[in-house]
Chains A and B, each alone.
Chain A
Amino acid sequence: MPLTLADSSPVDSPDREYLWTLNFGPQHPATHTTLRLVLTLDGENVVSAVPHIGYLHSGFEKLGEHLDFNQYVTIVDRMNYISPLANEISWHHAVETLLGIELTPRCIYIRTICAELMRLHDHLLNVGTTALDLGAFTAFLYAFTQREKIYDIVEYASGQRFHTSYTRVGGVLFDVNNDWVNKVRSFVNAFGETHAEIHKLLTRNRIFMDRTKGIGVLTKEDAIRFSATGPLARASGVVRDLRKDEPYLAYRDFDFKVVCSQGGDCYARYLVRMQEMLESVKILQQAIENIPAGPINIALETDVVLPAKPAVYRSIEGLIQHFEVIMPNRGFPVPHDEVYAATESPNGELGYYIVGDGTPRAYRARTRPPSYIHFAMFPHMVKGHQLSDVVAILGSLNIIAAELDR
């Protein structure tokens, strides 16, 4: 439990000169990425923490104003690179909301499957590295073996392991085939075993429990005050899941539960993530058996999607259509409107606020990055804990600095 510090006078007051300052990061194995904390310590207890971010700031939102809706997908990939496809799906969900496009049923299912695979991908990394930071190495390796399999599946569909750039406005880049479906099916069926192994290694592990129980408690009120979303909020008892609250893609069709906990500590977050993986598997099992047949892209007449390559090479209409979409001064019609649309990414509510000004580029492409919002509450959560708990809390928040800084 966090200690209530006896002396609550300001950190910089003269009678507290014995406090010392520790610089944590920007390069530290437990930050995983580049972020820096300036910790004020009283012995081993953290009196205050001041996060310094921006080391990976690369102007993504500015780039969003210069690249068109399809080009920018390569940038959003690189925001939360732990679950790149989830970012792409979220970005194009917002774009399609702006353009008023309704996707084909097949595309919706493919995207749903990809989104859930990414949830497994992200949660596996988070559970694995949280354990790794606390000294448990085996669970990390088990998790990464499964992640490797997801890479394979994603590579099979999109041709890329990591930064897939798989979605397009109005559809996806390539169709999937039966082999892919079989790959997903065998992965999903075998996943439960690994999940059980990780569960066995960590859930009742004395050391793991001692290091995470009662650490970094976020109450329900604070979670709402800080706009926490995703597993972090659900572990604090906030019942909010965009997949249920504002169903998008095909989530309306599936039977799954929203996993919540009352604990609000690092252990509760771990449990929520573990259980969510099982719910994802449940969604995948339903989705993979019910992929509708049909086209993956919306109709060509909408002037949004590219025609098939044979049509481009062999017919004048196809060639013209191709250039109509591709050429910088043509592009597709975009309304003078603005939308905020969000999806439930593995980390929380990942939303985009897009202002359209009639051109095929966003006038303003604002991201609501869950990492940014979650890291803002870190100083609040770490106060009174010990130095070694910093790592546990940081791990349970799943901060991805590329998304944090954009």
Chain B
Amino acid sequence: MAGARRRRAAPFPDSFRPFSTVTINEIHSRLVQQFGDQITGLNATATDPWIEVAPARWDEVALYLRDDEALRFDSLTNLTGVDYLETDPKKAPKFGHEPHLEVVFHLYSFVHRCRLVVKVKLPRWKNDVPGEIPDCPSVAHIWSIADWHEREAYDLVGINFTGHPNLVRILCVEDWVGHPLRKDYEFPLEYHGIRGK
């Protein structure tokens, strides 16, 4: 019926079945077997099921995801930084998230023809000191495209990718202050004599 609500097709659609033999639960159990408590979460029922990885050894997990024969996630489709923060104290109880940052990696395997979502949760500020941006291991040496994606996430969301070869701003000018996609970002009133707002 037109307009009827439907569930989204399974994360690995039927058309993938001939290629894909891995499921999110299998990937998760493989990772847990390999990395133990570094794999901090799994949501297999979300529209796009995801696995959560602790930031400490994320680069090792990423390398394993790329190189393990059963996984072979050889391509990084997308990398997103998300700032979870509700600035309005009235709405905060309904918001449903603790204030934190998330780096979301959308991976794709050309070998098995399937997608995977991996999340890395970070604190909003390193050691809770406002202005100190949190660290996340860089994966630019694993997926080349992560180089620019990480620069963008650093620029707009404020995440320090440790080990990145050239972590400088990419979209904003080099002397820009602040990270525009943070929810508590305030647009500057003035930039080199140009009036803002």
Please, how many angstroms separate the alpha-carbon atoms of A222 and B96 in the complex? 41
A353 pairs with B106, CB closer than 8 A: yes
Chain B interface: which size bin? 35 or more
Q: Is B144 an interface residue (CB 8 A)?
A: yes
For chain A residues 315-355, which have a beta carbon within 8 Å of chain B?
336-340, 342, 349, 351, 353, 355
For chain A residues 346-404, which have a beta carbon within 8 Å of chain B?
349, 351, 353, 355, 357-358, 363-364, 366, 368, 372-373, 376-377, 380
B2 pairs with A340, CB closer than 8 A: no
Q: What's the minimum C-beta distance from A265 to chain B, rounded to whole angstroms?
A: 19
B144 pairs with A245, CB closer than 8 A: no
Please, how many angstroms separate the alpha-carbon atoms of A337 and B13 in the complex? 19
Chain A residue with Cβ nearest B76: A227
Among candidates A97, A294, A405, residue contacting B171 with C-beta atoms closer than 8 Å: A405
Q: Is B181 an interface residue (CB 8 A)?
A: yes
Please, how many angstroms separate the alpha-carbon atoms of A124 and B3 in the complex? 36
Top 10 closest A-B pairs, CB basis? Answer: A299-B3, A298-B3, A376-B148, A54-B171, A366-B80, A57-B171, A368-B78, A227-B145, A104-B2, A227-B75
A54 pairs with B74, CB closer than 8 A: no
Q: What's the minimum C-beta distance from A110 to chain B, rounded to whole angstroms?
A: 14
B8 pairs with A353, CB closer than 8 A: no
Please, how many angstroms separate the alpha-carbon atoms of A101 and B3 in the complex? 7
Please, how many angstroms separate the alpha-carbon atoms of A166 and B185 in the complex? 33
A residues at B contact (CB < 8 Å)? 53-54, 57, 59, 61-62, 97-98, 100-102, 104-105, 170, 222, 224-227, 238, 240, 245-247, 294-295, 298-299, 301-302, 336-340, 342, 349, 351, 353, 355, 357-358, 363-364, 366, 368, 372-373, 376-377, 380, 405-406
For chain B residues 35-58, which have a beta carbon within 8 Å of chain A?
46-48
Q: Most chain-B CB neighbours within 10 Å: which of A100, A222, A238?
A: A100
Please give, as numbers and ranges, the residues of chain B lying within 8 Å of A61 by CB-CB distance: 156, 181
For chain B residues 49-96, which have a beta carbon within 8 Å of chain A?
74-78, 80, 82-83, 94-96
Q: Is B195 an interface residue (CB 8 A)?
A: no
Please give, as numbers and ranges, the residues of chain B lying within 8 Å of A380 by CB-CB distance: 144
Please give, as numbers and ranges, the residues of chain B lying within 8 Å of A338 by CB-CB distance: 46-48, 104
Q: What's the minimum C-beta distance from A131 to chain B, rounded to whole angstroms?
A: 29
Q: What's the minimum C-beta distance from A289 to chain B, rounded to whole angstroms?
A: 22
11 contacts between A and B (CB under 8 A): A100-B6, A100-B8, A104-B3, A246-B15, A302-B3, A302-B5, A338-B48, A339-B8, A353-B106, A366-B80, A373-B145
Chain B residue with Cβ nearest A366: B80
Please give, as numbers and ranges, the residues of chain B lying within 8 Å of A368 by CB-CB distance: 77-78, 106
B77 pairs with A357, CB closer than 8 A: no
Please, how many angstroms separate the alpha-carbon atoms of A128 and B180 in the complex? 37
B171 pairs with A53, CB closer than 8 A: yes
Q: What's the minimum C-beta distance from A364 to chain B, rounded to whole angstroms?
A: 5
A62 pairs with B180, CB closer than 8 A: yes
Please, how many angstroms separate the alpha-carbon atoms of A153 and B5 in the complex? 32
Please give, as numbers and ranges, the residues of chain A lying within 8 Å of B5 by CB-CB distance: 100-102, 302
Q: What's the minimum C-beta distance from B47 to chain A, rounded to whole angstroms?
A: 5
Q: A339-B48, A372-B148 are in contact. Are A301 and B3 (CB under 8 A)?
A: yes
Among candidates A53, A245, A298, residue contacting B170 with C-beta atoms closer than 8 Å: A53
Please, how many angstroms separate the alpha-carbon atoms of A102 and B6 in the complex? 7
A225 pairs with B2, CB closer than 8 A: no
Q: A338-B48, A364-B80 are in contact. Are A357 and B95 (CB under 8 A)?
A: yes
A224 pairs with B110, CB closer than 8 A: yes
A245 pairs with B173, CB closer than 8 A: no
Please give, as numbers and ranges, the residues of chain B lying within 8 Å of A358 by CB-CB distance: 94
Among candidates B2, B6, B106, B173, residue contacting A54 with C-beta atoms closer than 8 Å: B173
Q: What's the minimum C-beta distance from B102 to chain A, rounded to whole angstroms?
A: 9
A364 pairs with B82, CB closer than 8 A: yes
Q: What's the minimum C-beta distance from A119 to chain B, rounded to whole angstroms?
A: 21
B170 pairs with A225, CB closer than 8 A: no
Among candidates A100, A226, A299, residue contacting B2 with C-beta atoms closer than 8 Å: A299
